[in-house]
């Protein structure tokens, strides 16, 4: 091959790399820009009401669950997994916490660990069914969802379950929730970005066969990822219970869809892999919360809110979808 | 080019959405009034008569009221919105609507958002502890309409709250009981019943309790089977296959198209003429089923209860509260319909151009406008409520 031919090939390769780098930078900025635009837009249309102190407190409470579960979702989606049981799982973790709180034998303080443990246990079952029985994650989590829903329906069938709300109002404090958020975000960031476990999950998401051949215990890592998301769902289950004060058969419903929306809006790759970043999921979670809050503050009718959210969803996904790889990119 | 195509498609989607919205706003002049219930059009504006002495909307101070229900697109939801929009105009109130989403916790979030949006009072299907506290902190009045709360701790929270107004609902238990009783009186002895998943809706659960208790009081009426869930069409198909002796069917409600599906299934399974059907929530096809005799008993007309709840909220807002014990539910009856003639009257007087309670009739419940307004008057309104009551009060308005 002539020198000119080699130089041309190198030139083409460099151009492709530069294009890819630009595209990655742009796609990395877009979700941030999207969130800022959404905040700016609602600041204008609500006359600044969205950013007043009371509403910032509301946003903290309203984003608490979705941000914390999004941290857990990062571990699942980064390896190419999926969990459709999150809402039903949150329902039974709330049930477990309520049982401890209303029990005359156990101290109410055990409600938090009980809720987390139930979440981790169910998460482990989902992961276990997925990797040990070879059932696709979608199907395994769907089955677990039905089991969890069945338990919640059965227990709440006679009547809604209430907790002594006034005894738990301290858990609704913005300070406590902010502290919990900081701890979960920091721990999630360190574990996902800087530990072998986090890197293993990205490797599994990139190519599971190569990951296995590289000596990664893929099954163990996957099950652990589901246990983590389960534990975090359990944590939010307790706080949701103390925020609402009761459980019925609908408790937790739709959480998995909110998380999926957050993941996609944040530009997180649904197929997982090395491009997975924790901040993408957090940005997506905040965008979902601000959108819902802002549209209500703007006074938009609820049935139009759904349509607007759908249109924005198409717009954001349309802009951030990398067609060359057939997946969403950061 | 690709970006252009994408932008073009977004613009087209927007145009389609807007044009659909515009179509929805046009008046459907060709619909026959007796064919189906209509709830998308607003109610007629009725002039405040000089004799009434009640102030006109323009003379009243402006208030902002939040409304929080499961949704406003099904028949009952749209009736609630239509009625509250009408009362908003009559009382110079801006009505802001929100829904609770799929999960119960969504109602707390929606309450916070409504408060942030400037609502001075909220009418809601739920009064959860978290909602009561959010309203208490913000100094926003909360009234529960179309549902009630029986948990002791929550009742204490309500009692201690300065801003919880009260609870207004239909007597669901009594309605469940009446459905069994009516089928029994019409000769049914082998019945089945269906209701949504237990725990999903307290009002349906109360109706089921009424059904179960009535069955105990009529021991010669046999419950062949029951189904609690959402796949009611399939369940009815199974009942039809397994229980040929079935002569009565009760469904505790089907506001989101459920009643229509049951009508269709009764016909497709050959149950027409064999099984008498009793249910709640009026939908399309009701007139035909009453005519054919398949539909023995149907109840509806519950949406004005939210208007009654509105009046209690308004009383609290203007500083003349009339409900002393906010933990005591004010019950109202369902409006039962048993013949095509009654249904025709229902379409005209309850789901027609004029709501079952006009602005003046609701203003009569406001102590500031009518010094005689009291809990007794609320109870009188409830006791009298029925087709004939509305016909009697409104016959001169048509």
Model confidence pLDDT, tens digit, residues B195-221: 988 877 788 889 999 999 999 999 999
C-beta atoms of A243 and B116 within 8 A:
no
Q: Number of folded domains in chain A?
A: 1
Residue matched to tokens 């929270």: B157
Contact between B103 and A253 using a beta-carbon 8 Å cutoff: yes
The candidate with the shortest Cα–Cα distance to A228, out of A86, A64, A108, is A86
Q: Are residues B312 and B294 in the same domain?
A: no
Give chain B's length.
398
Angle between helices B2-25 and A302-320 (to 10 degrees): 170
A-chain CB neighbours of B114 within 8 Å are 296
Percent of chain B with pLDDT over 70: 86
B86 pLDDT more than 50: yes
How does pLDDT run across B251-263, given as a tens digit for each residue? 998 766 678 888 8
Element (DSSP H or E) covering residue B4: helix B2-25
pLDDT, one tens digit per residue, over A208-250 is: 999 999 999 999 999 999 999 999 999 999 999 999 999 998 9
Residue B7 has pLDDT above 70, yes or no: no
Whether the per-residue pLDDT at A57 is higher than 80: the answer is yes
- Phi and psi, residue B193, nearest 5°: -140, 155
Judge if B216 and B236 occupy the same domain. Answer: yes
pLDDT confidence of residue B198 = 81
Rounded alpha-carbon distances, angstroms, from residue B78 to B34, B45, B72, B252, B324: 18, 18, 5, 20, 31
State whether residue B172 sits within 8 Å of chain A by CB: no
Query: Is the confidence at residue B297, as pLDDT, over 90?
Result: yes
B66 and B93 housed in the same domain: yes
Q: Are the beta carbons of B97 and A302 separated by less than 8 Å?
A: yes
Among A188-192, B5-9, B191-195, B278-282, the range scoring the smallest mean pLDDT is B5-9
Burial class, B212, CB count within 10 angstroms (exposed 0-12 / middle 13-18 / buried 19+): middle
B113 shares a domain with B79: yes
Please classify residue B319 by burial: count the beta carbons closer than 10 Å to its beta carbon, then call 0-12 exposed, 13-18 middle and 19+ buried.
exposed
For residue range B302-338, list pLDDT tens digits in order.
999 999 999 999 999 999 999 999 999 999 999 999 8
Q: How far is B212 from B374, CA to CA, in rounded Å?
A: 35
| Closest-CA distance of chain A to residue B289, Å | 31
Beta carbons of B197 and A240 less than 8 Å apart: no
Whether residue B300 has pLDDT greater than 80 = yes
Residue pair A135/A144 in contact (Cβ under 8 Å)? The answer is: no
Query: Distance from CA of residue B352 to its chain's centroid?
Result: 16
In chain A, positions 139-158, which contact chain B (CB-CB < 8 Å)?
A: 152-158
Comparing C-alpha atoms, which of A307, A130, A157, A152 is closest to residue A221?
Answer: A130
B-chain CB neighbours of A174 within 8 Å are: none
Tell me the per-residue pLDDT of B227-275, one tens digit each, with 9 for 90 and over: 998 889 999 999 999 999 999 999 998 766 678 888 889 989 999 999 9
| Residues B31, B32, B35, B38, CA torsion sign | positive
The string of pLDDT tens digits covering residues A85-108 is 999 999 999 999 999 999 888 898
Residue B41, pLDDT > 90, answer: no
Q: B41 lies in a domain?
A: no
User: How many domains is chain B partitioned into structurally?
Assistant: 2
CATH number at residue B157: 3.40.50.2300
- B117–chain A Cβ distance below 8 A for any pair: yes
Per-residue pLDDT averaged across A13-19, rounded? 76
Side-chain half-sphere exposure of B112, counting CA atoms within 13 A: 23
Give Cα A96 to chain centroid, integer Å: 22
Tell if the CB–CB gap between A244 and B200 is shorter than 8 Å: no
- B178 lies in the same domain as B128: no
- Which of chain A's residues have a Cβ under 8 Å away from the Cβ of B6? 318
Domain that holds residue A248: 57-252
* Whether residue A148 has pLDDT greater than 50: yes
Using the predicted structure, report yes or no on whether residue B153 has a pLDDT greater than 60.
yes
Whole-number pLDDT of residue B283: 77
Query: Is residue A328 a part of any domain in this protein?
Result: no
CB contact, 8 Å: B61 with chain A?
Answer: no
Top residue of B94, B96, B105, B231 to mutate, by most chain A CBs within 10 Å, is B105
- Give the Cα separation of B129 and B154 in Å (integer): 6
Check residue B31 and give its pLDDT: 35
User: Does residue B108 belong to the interface with chain A, where contact is any CB pair within 8 Å?
Assistant: yes
Is A282 a domain residue? no
Q: Domain for residue B34, yes or no? A: no
A325, pLDDT greater than 60: no
- Is B156's pLDDT higher than 90? yes
Instruction: Please indicate, yes or no, if residue A167 is contained in any of the structural domains.
Output: yes
| pLDDT the model gives residue A264 | 85
The span from the CA of B350 to the CA of B334, in Å, is 12
Q: How many CB pairs under 8 A join A and B?
A: 137
Of A62, A251, A318, the CB nearest to B104: A251
| Cα A138 to Cα A143: distance, rounded to the nearest angstrom | 9
Q: Are residues B291 and B312 in the same domain?
A: no
B221 within some domain: yes
Instruction: Kindly give, in sequence order, each residue whose CB lies less than 8 Å from that of residue B324, ignoring residues fewer than 6 positions away.
Output: B375
Residue B20 pLDDT grade (very low, low, confident, very high; cuts 50, 70, 90): very low
Q: What confidence tens digit (pLDDT) does each residue in A303-319 have?
A: 788 788 788 778 766 76
Where does the pLDDT of residue B46 fall: very low under 50, low under 70, confident under 90, or very high at 90 and above? low
Of B17, B109, B117, the CB nearest to A297: B117
Question: Is residue A114 in a domain?
Answer: yes
Comparison of pLDDT for B206 and B33, the residue scoring more: B206
Residue with tokens 């109360």: B206
pLDDT of residue A1: 54
pLDDT-derived band at A320 (thresholds 50, 70, 90) equals low
* Token pair 């709830």 in the structure block, residue: B39
- What pLDDT is recorded for position B30? 34
Residue B146 CB neighbours (<10 A): 24
The alpha carbon of residue B254 and the mean position of all alpha carbons in its chain are separated, in whole angstroms, by: 11
- Same domain? For B144 and B202 the reply is no
Least confident of A244-248, B89-93, B149-153, B372-376: B149-153
Collapsed DSSP state (helix, strand, coil) of residue B374 = coil
Does the structure show a pLDDT above 80 at A326?
no
* B278 within some domain: yes
Q: Is there a contact between A307 and A288 (Cβ–Cβ < 8 Å)?
A: no
Q: Are residues B234 and B249 in the same domain?
A: yes
Residue where a domain stops, chosen among B300, B325, B349: B300
Place of tokens 């749209």: B78
Write out the two tokens for A291: 């959108």
Residue B353: phi, psi to the nearest 5?
Answer: -80, -20
Which residues on chain A are in Cβ contact (under 8 Å) with B107? 244
Among the partner residues A65, A245, A301, nearest to B130 by beta-carbon distance: A245
CA distance A56 to A62: 10
- Is a pLDDT exceeding 50 seen at residue B12? no
pLDDT, tens digit, 9 for 90 and up, residues A250-288? 999 999 999 998 998 888 888 888 888 999 999 999 998
Best mutation target, B25, B108, B116, B201, to test chain A (most A CBs within 10 A): B116
**Domain membership of residue B311 as a residue range:** 57-171+302-335+358-397
Asked if the model's pLDDT at residue A321 lies above 70, the reply is: no
Q: Is A151 contained in some domain? A: yes
């Amino acid at each position: 091959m002539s020198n000119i031919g080699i130089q041309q090939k190198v030139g083409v390769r460099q151009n492709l790399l530069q294009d890819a780098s630009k595209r990655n930078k742009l796609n990395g900025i877009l979700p941030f820009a999207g969130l800022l635009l959404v905040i700016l837009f609602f600041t204008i249309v609500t006359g600044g009401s969205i950013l007043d102190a009371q509403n910032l407190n509301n946003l903290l409470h309203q984003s608490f669950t979705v941000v914390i579960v999004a941290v857990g979702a990062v571990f699942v989606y980064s390896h190419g997994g999926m969990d459709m049981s999150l809402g039903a799982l949150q329902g039974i973790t709330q049930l477990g916490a309520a049982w401890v709180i209303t029990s005359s034998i156990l101290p109410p303080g055990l409600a938090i660990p009980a809720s987390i443990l139930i979440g981790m246990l169910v998460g482990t079952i989902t992961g276990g069914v997925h990797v040990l029985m070879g059932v696709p994650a979608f199907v395994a989590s769907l089955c677990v969802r039905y089991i969890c829903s069945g338990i919640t329906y059965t227990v709440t069938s006679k009547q809604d379950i209430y907790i002594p709300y006034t005894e738990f109002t301290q858990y609704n404090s913005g300070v406590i929730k902010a502290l919990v958020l900081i701890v979960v975000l920091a721990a999630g960031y360190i574990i996902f970005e800087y530990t072998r476990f986090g890197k293993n999950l990205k490797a599994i998401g990139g190519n599971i066969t190569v990951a296995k051949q590289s000596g990664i215990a893929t099954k163990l890592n996957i099950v652990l990822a589901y246990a983590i998301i389960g534990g975090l769902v359990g944590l939010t289950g307790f706080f949701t219970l103390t925020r609402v004060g009761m459980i019925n058969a609908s408790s937790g419903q739709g959480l998995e869809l909110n998380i999926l929306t957050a993941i996609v809006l944040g530009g997180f790759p649904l197929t997982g892999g090395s491009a997975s970043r924790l901040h993408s999921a957090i940005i997506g979670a905040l965008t979902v919360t601000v959108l819902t809050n802002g549209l209500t503050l703007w006074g938009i009718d609820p049935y139009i809110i759904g349509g607007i959210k759908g249109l924005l969803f198409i717009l954001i996904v349309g802009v951030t979808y990398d067609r060359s790889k057939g997946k969403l990119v950061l | 080019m690709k970006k252009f195509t994408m932008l073009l498609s977004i613009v087209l989607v927007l145009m389609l959405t807007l044009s659909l919205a515009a179509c929805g706003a046009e008046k459907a002049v060709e619909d026959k009034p007796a064919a189906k219930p209509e709830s998308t059009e607003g109610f007629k504006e009725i002039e405040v008569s000089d004799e009434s002495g009640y102030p006109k909307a323009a003379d009243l101070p402006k208030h902002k009221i939040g409304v929080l229900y499961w949704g406003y697109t099904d028949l009952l939801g749209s009736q609630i919105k239509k009625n509250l929009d009408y009362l908003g105009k009559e009382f110079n109130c801006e009505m802001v609507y929100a829904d609770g989403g799929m999960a119960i916790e969504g109602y707390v979030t929606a309450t916070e958002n409504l408060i942030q949006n400037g609502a001075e009072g909220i009418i809601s299907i739920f009064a959860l502890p978290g909602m009561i506290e959010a309203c208490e902190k913000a100094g926003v009045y909360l009234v529960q309409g179309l549902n009630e709360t029986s948990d002791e701790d929550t009742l204490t929270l309500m009692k201690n709250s300065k801003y919880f107004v009260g609870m207004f609902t239909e007597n669901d238990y009594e309605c469940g009981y009446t459905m069994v009783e009516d089928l029994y009186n019409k000769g049914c002895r082998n019945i089945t019943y269906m209701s949504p998943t237990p725990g999903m809706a307290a009002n349906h659960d109360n109706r089921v309790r009424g059904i179960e208790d009535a069955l105990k009081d009529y021991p010669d009426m046999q419950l062949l089977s029951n189904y609690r869930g959402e796949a009611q069409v399939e369940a009815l198909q199974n009942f039809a296959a397994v229980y040929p002796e079935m002569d009565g069917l009760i469904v505790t409600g089907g506001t989101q198209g459920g009643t229509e599906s049951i009508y269709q299934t009764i016909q497709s399974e050959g149950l027409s003429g064999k099984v008498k059907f009793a249910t709640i929530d009026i939908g399309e096809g009701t007139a035909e089923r009453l005519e054919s005799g398949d539909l023995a008993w149907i109840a509806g007309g519950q949406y004005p209860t939210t208007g009654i709840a509105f009046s209690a909220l308004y009383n609290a807002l203007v500083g003349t509260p009339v409900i002393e014990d906010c933990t005591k539910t004010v019950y109202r009856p369902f409006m039962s319909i048993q013949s095509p003639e009654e249904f025709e009257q229902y379409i005209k007087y309850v789901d027609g151009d004029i709501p079952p309670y006009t602005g003046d009739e609701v203003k009569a419940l406001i102590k500031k406008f009518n010094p005689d307004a009291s809990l007794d008057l609320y109870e009188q309104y409830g006791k009298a409520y029925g087709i004939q009551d509305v016909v009697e009060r409104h016959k001169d308005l048509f």
